Amino acid sequence: MSDMKVKDLAGTVGITAERLVDQLNEAGIKVSQPDDLITEEQKQTLLQFLQQRHGKSADGASVTPKKITLKRKSVSEIKLAGPTRAGKSVSVEVRKKRTYIKRSETEEAAAAAELLKQKEAEDAAAEAAKLQQQELEAQQQRERLMEQEAADREAAAVAAAIEAEKQAAEEARLAAEEEQRALAEEAKAAAEEPPAKTQKSQNQEPALTASQLAHKKLEEADAKRRAANLARIDAEKALEARRKAREEEEALEKAREEAKQAAAEVQAKEQKAERQKEGDARVHAKDKPAKRGKFQRDDEFERKELHVSEGKTGRRKKKKGVSQPRGAVRDTAGEHGFSMPTAPVVREVSVPETISVSDLAQRMSVKAAEVIKALMGLGTMATINQVLDQDTAVIVVEEMGHVAKPTQDNEVELALTVSDEDLGELKSRAPVVTVMGHVDHGKTSLLDYIRRTKVTTGEAGGITQHIGAYKVETSRGEIAFLDTPGHAAFTEMRSRGAKVTDIVVLVVAADDGVMPQTIEAIQHAKAAESILIVAVNKMDKPDANPDRVKQELVNHEVIPEDWGGDVQFVPVSALTGQGIDDLLDAISLQAEIMELTAPVEGPANGTVIEARLDKGRGTVVTVLVQKGTLKKGDIVVVGQEYGRVRALFDENGQQLEQAGPSTPVELLGLSSTPAAGDELQVAPDERTAREISYFRQTRAREMKMAQQQAAKLDDMFNKMEAGDVKTLNVVIKADVHGSAEAVSQGLQKLSTDLVQVRVIASGVGGINETDAQLAAASDAILIGFNVRADNTARKVIAEKGLDVQYFSIIYDLLDVVTKAMTGMLEPVYKDEIIGLARVDDVFRSPKFGDIAGCLVLEGMVKRNNPIRVLRDNVVIFEGELESLRRFKDDVNEVSAGTECGIGVRNYKDVKPGDQIEVFERVLMKPTL
């Protein structure tokens, strides 16, 4: 793909151009505007950056994020005390940064040390904040003391002003009395000595001076009194202002206490109303049944953040003839309405293993848009119905200020857990022997001889398509045998057989040696930690070479006992019976050494070997009981299915009432076909079994949705790079679950870069109308493996013209599908050079134009074939011939070593020294 603009890529991806520019810059690609061009390498860099951000490795595999950093910021206010600072507050901002790092075991010590350092730093910060708070409280205490001292000084000033005023008033009174006394004395003196005017006039000046002095003192005393009065008034005003400020502060503090008390009373009323409402609801629930379709979860629809304020309520008028429900009495003492919470509500949110965005928002009592916004802040794009994993949900809950409580979804499955006290006494049990090996090495024939039945006659193509489970009674005790298919497509089936077995009998043909499926069987046996016994079969053939088998197995770490190893080698022949007794002796001896035991009493536990859908009997499941006793009528849970055991059958079709450990049985009664390898457990009752089955189905569906959502972004970029890829849709139906699984995996492995095989659906049972309709809607081919279509499905197939293929051998199925995939490929043409001519000279003709005089060097030049003009071995023109002449005659072809004249159509720049290459396009058969 060539270079393209950022805005064009944003339109293709489905995001805004600005967002894509930011992502490119975050990825280290310098882009400034949407019109800039980006190259293919920059697209790959962006894709790798987005994959790492979303938890994907470079190759597309899902990995756990190595490092997650969370940043938090909280702002709180501290109100200052005192009348002069009323209404003022100090904002305290606390910033926290927390980093979660996934470390290996070798880094645990360093991580612990680093965590200790961080904790010490946090403790130091907390201690510093505490010291700061203490310092602030000390500062407030000092301010209160200073204010108290100022108030005391003002009170003292008022008292001093009052005292000064009193003193000034006393001085004025004394001055007035002195003035009156002086005037009286002067009048008396004038009355007693009237003749002596001359002497009186002489002495008059001192008397007037004394009067004036007394009057002056009186005026000064009045001035002091007025000044003292003004000072007293000012001091009283200041004291009154401080008293009012103190009263306002006390009133504000009292109002706060009353508000807290009112809030506590309202909360107590709400709790009382909720308890009364719950009691009434329980009473109503007992009186009449609940309505269908209406339910409420315990952790949903909480209204704890709403506080009813006091005052009048808008009570509804009671309608005539309509009685109000019990518990609906409302408090009419308060004001109608709600008050906002004074503090954010912190909830404890239970987070299961998977949860949708809408459910998570509902549990936190917030809108889903807020959760989506938080996810976008963490770099995750999500929708309201998207399913989140537990780790992501916990981070979102903590980011939004709540407390996350991770829970395990399998709590409901604890009812199936059986304690050791419930199990009976351990008793000896029969060994479980799995027969493995390559196809056509004689595994089923060996069991056929042991069971004295003809199992191989009923197998299609002479190979085993299913896992067979048989319990054989021998002279040395009972032995449970599991026969596994040997074809490569049944690797998963062989793997399940090895996981439930005690001893593995590896059958190797003495005339064929070790084959690919033999090596796989050895690997499965080692992975299951099972004891291995090698049965060298077909010893009756003349070209049998057991030493070759031993030599080849030694290369795979399977060493015989006679060569110093620990693996028993038993030469046998399934046709003549040679060595069969020795093989049974080896199995019995090994079982005695292993001392195999299992509890017989108590609820049964087993593993599904195979499951199929029978038209007459329904779901038939082959189960190997491993411990306990499975009885007819038990309620069992098998994987995602449950049911009651209606019947038990052994390998011969005989009904059983119960089955003990190491017993393979077929049971009827499950709701649907489980997957091979699922665990069978006995439930205490049908209700518990149904709940566990529903829970497992829901969990599987949610996990599938989560995986699909995570793969959408990768699929989008992969489709952009891959271009047009052909897809072959198939719908598979098989007789048993294991065969359907093996066929699906075999077909998916056929996918290439040119043609992809897509399994639309895979199931057990015959082809029905639903399968045919699905194949018609998805343009798929129907594949029936050991099953056929019913009458209704055949009508739909005929009407729609669907392609239906029936198979009983997997070889033929894979070959036919491979041919169908090849037919979907586009035709491939190959250019084959048939001639080469050299231009020696160019002739100018007014009638024919430029004619190149050429010598044919190789092959043959044909007039009707396309050509290429080469100059210095570089193609400069591709077209066709206009004329080919030999002397004056037009010819159709010219052989090597012959001169000719060539006219090139629509090209006039042929020069001497050029070469004219003649080729033809040959249709090639397309291959995968």
In contact, 785 and 743? CB cutoff 8 Å = yes
Confidence tier at 329 by pLDDT (50, 70, 90):
very low
Say if residues 232 and 161 touch (Cβ distance below 8 Å): yes
Does residue 207 carry a pLDDT above 70?
Answer: no
* pLDDT of the residue at 312: 40
State the residue range of the domain holding 799.
724-823
The SS3 assignment for 744 reads helix
Strand order in the sheet with 468-474: 468-474, 477-483, 432-437, 503-509, 531-537, 568-571
Q: Is the residue at 562 inside a domain?
A: yes
Let me know whether 808 and 734 are in one domain: yes
Could you give the CA distance from residue 812 to residue 174 in angstroms, rounded to a whole number? Answer: 142
Tokens of 756: 């992809």
Closest among 893, 919, 906, 920 to 836, alpha carbons compared: 919
Q: Are residues 371 and 356 in the same domain?
A: yes
- Is 272 annotated as a binding-site member? no
Locate the DSSP E strands across 352-424. 354-356, 387-389, 403-406
Which residue among 63, 85, 113 closes a domain? 63
Instruction: Tell me which of 136 and 866 has the higher pLDDT.
Output: 866
Q: Is 206 one of the annotated binding-site residues?
A: no
607 marked as part of a ligand binding site: no
The answer on whether 537 is annotated among ligand-binding residues is yes
User: For residues 818 and 755, is the Cβ–Cβ distance under 8 A?
Assistant: no
Residue 325 confidence (pLDDT) above 80: no
Q: What mean pLDDT comes out for the span 277-299?
A: 45
> Hey, how many other C-beta atoms are within 10 angstroms of the C-beta on 533?
21
Distance CA 535, CA 572 (A): 6
pLDDT digits (tens, 9 = 90+) for 723-764: 556 788 899 998 888 788 888 888 888 887 778 888 888 888
Same domain flag for 449 and 542: yes
- Does 442 show up as a binding residue in the annotation? yes
**The CATH number of the domain where 512 resides is what?**
3.40.50.300
Angle at 153 between CA 147 and CA 157, to 5 degrees: 145
Taking the CA of residue 626 as centre, how many other CA atoms within 13 Å lie in the half-sphere pointing to its CB?
A: 16
Q: Which residues contact 695 (CB under 8 A, 6 or more apart)?
A: 409, 412, 413
Does residue 487 carry a pLDDT above 70?
Answer: no
| Pair 557, 458 in one domain | yes
Q: Has residue 519 been placed in a domain?
A: yes
* Distance, CA of 28 to CA of 33 (rounded, Å): 15
199 or 819: which carries more pLDDT confidence?
Answer: 819
- 577 annotated as belonging to a binding site for a ligand: no
Q: Quick one: pLDDT at residue 421? A: 60
Pair (487, 542) in one structural domain: yes
pLDDT at 211: 59
pLDDT interval class at 327 (50, 70, 90) = very low
For residue 584, what pLDDT is reported?
A: 87
Residue 435 and residue 503: Cα distance in Å, rounded?
A: 9
pLDDT at 632 exceeding the cut of 80: yes
215 marked ligand binding residue: no
Residues 816 and 887 in one domain: no
Q: 485 a known binding residue?
A: yes
Residue 33's alpha-carbon distances to 17, 20, 48, 612, in angstroms, are 8, 10, 22, 61
CATH of the domain at 743: 3.40.50.10050
3 state SS of 42: helix
Both structure tokens of 607:
């593993």
Q: Are residues 468 and 560 in the same domain?
A: yes
- CA dist., res. 321 & res. 720, Å (int): 70
Phi, psi torsion values for 232, nearest 5 degrees: -65, -40
Range list of H helices, 193-203:
197-202
Task: Among 808, 823, 838, give the residue marking a domain's end.
Answer: 823
3-state helix, strand and coil shares in percent for the chain, rounded to the nearest 5: 40, 25, 30
CATH number (domain holding residue 877):
2.40.30.10
Q: What is the DSSP letter of 297?
A: -
Please tell me which residue, 805 or 287, carries the higher pLDDT value: 805
Q: Which of 168-182, 325-339, 751-765, 877-891 has the lowest mean pLDDT?
A: 325-339
Distance CA 777, CA 804 (A): 15
Nearest alpha-carbon partner for 393 in 365, 354, 345, 348: 354
Mean pLDDT of the 589-604 span: 86
Lowest model confidence (mean pLDDT) among 298-312, 364-378, 878-892: 298-312
Task: Using DSSP, state whether 71 is helix, strand or coil.
Answer: strand
Which of 928, 731, 676 has the alpha carbon at shortest distance from 824? 928
Average pLDDT over residues 298-323: 40
Helix (H, G, I), strand (E, B) or coil at 62: strand
Residue 11 belongs to what H/E stretch? Answer: helix 6-13
Cut 0.75: pTM above it = no
Same domain, 472 and 587: yes
Predicted local distance difference test score (pLDDT) of residue 303: 37
CB 368 within 8 A of CB 361: yes
Which pLDDT score, from 0 to 100, does residue 289 have?
Answer: 43
- Does the residue 365 lie in any domain? yes
Percent of the chain with pLDDT over 90: 11
Specify the pLDDT at position 85: 58
Are residues 456 and 549 located together in one domain of the fold? yes
**pLDDT tier, 102 (very low <50, low <70, confident <90, very high otherwise):** low
Q: Is 487 within any annotated ligand binding site? A: yes
Average pLDDT over residues 537-544: 86
DSSP state letters, 550-613: HHHHHTTT--BGGGTSSBEEEE--TTT-TTHHHHHHHHHHHHHHHT-EEE-SSS-EEEEEEEEE
Minimum mean pLDDT among 284-288, 606-610, 755-759, 885-889: which range? Answer: 284-288
**Residue 163 pLDDT class (50, 70, 90 cuts):** confident
Residue 112 lies in a domain: no
What pLDDT is attached to residue 906?
86
Annotated ligand binding at 440? The verdict is yes
Dihedral, CA of residue 359, residue 365, residue 366 and residue 371, to nearest 10: -40
Average pLDDT of every residue of the chain: 77
539 marked among binding-site residues:
yes
- Grade residue 42 by pLDDT with cuts at 50, 70 and 90: confident
Separation of CA 246 from chain center: 60
* Bigger pLDDT: 908 vs 83: 908
* Two structure tokens written together for 818: 């491979």
Q: Could you identify the residue written with the tokens 């870069």?
A: 753
| pLDDT-wise least confident of 61-70, 355-364, 367-376, 585-594 | 61-70
Q: Does 832 have pLDDT greater than 50?
A: yes
CB of 853 closer than 8 Å to CB of 891: no
List the single range of 31-45, 470-484, 664-678 with lowest mean pLDDT. Answer: 470-484
Q: How many CB atoms lie within 10 A of CB 770?
A: 14
Q: Is the pLDDT score of 900 beyond 90?
A: yes
Q: Residue 191 pLDDT > 50, yes or no?
A: yes
- Single residue among 63, 93, 108 that ends a domain in this structure: 63
The 3 state secondary structure assigned to 646-714 is EEEECCCCCEECEECCCEEEEEEEECCCCCCCCEEEECCCHHHHHHHHHHHHHHHHHHHHHHHHHHHHH
Q: In the Cβ-directed half-sphere of 415, how many Cα atoms lie within 13 Å?
A: 19
762 and 812, same structural domain?
Answer: yes
pLDDT in tens, 633-685: 999 999 889 999 999 988 778 888 999 888 889 999 998 888 878 889 998 88
Quick one: DSSP state of residue 292? T
Q: Highest mean pLDDT range out of 252-256, 423-427, 465-469, 567-571?
A: 567-571
Q: Is residue 526 a part of any domain in this protein?
A: yes
Q: How many CB atoms lie within 10 A of CB 608?
A: 26
Residues 454 and 557 in one domain: yes
Residue 10 in any domain: the answer is yes
Instruction: Find out whether 483 is annotated in a ligand binding site.
Output: yes
The H or E element spanning position 523 is helix 516-527
End-to-end CA distance of the chain: 24
The annotation status of 719 as a binding-site residue, yes or no, is no
Mean pLDDT for the stretch of residues 611-615: 80
DSSP state of 362: H
Do residues 380 and 435 both lie within one domain? no
What percentage of residues in the chain have a pLDDT greater than 70?
Answer: 78
The CA distances from residue 127 to 92, 93, 114, 120, 699, in Å, are 15, 16, 20, 10, 47
Predicted confidence (pLDDT) per residue in 375-433, tens digit: 988 888 888 888 888 889 999 999 888 999 887 766 667 667 766 566 667 888 888 88
CA 45 from centroid of its chain's CA atoms: 24
Residue 268 CB coordination number (10 Å): 10
pLDDT at 2 over 90: no
Q: Which residue has the higher pLDDT, 807 or 311?
A: 807
The per-residue pLDDT for 103 is 61
Q: List all residues 6 or more positions away from 678 whose beta carbon is below 8 Å from its beta carbon.
A: 607, 608, 638, 639, 640
Q: Which contacts (CB < 8 Å, 24+ apart) does range 575-581 have?
A: 575/445, 575/449, 575/540, 576/540, 577/449, 578/539, 578/540, 579/535, 579/539, 580/446, 580/449, 580/450
Return the HEC string of 432-459.
EEEEEECCCCCHHHHHHHHHCCCCHHHC
Predicted pLDDT of residue 854? 93
Is residue 699, in this structure, part of any structural domain at all? Answer: no
pLDDT band at 928 (very low <50, low <70, confident <90, very high): low
Collapse the DSSP code of 539 into the 3-class scheme (helix H, G, I; strand E, B; otherwise coil) and give the result.
Answer: coil
Residue at 394 is within a domain: yes
Per-residue pLDDT at 310: 40
Number of domains composing the chain: 5
Residue pair 626/659 in contact by the 8 Å Cβ criterion: no
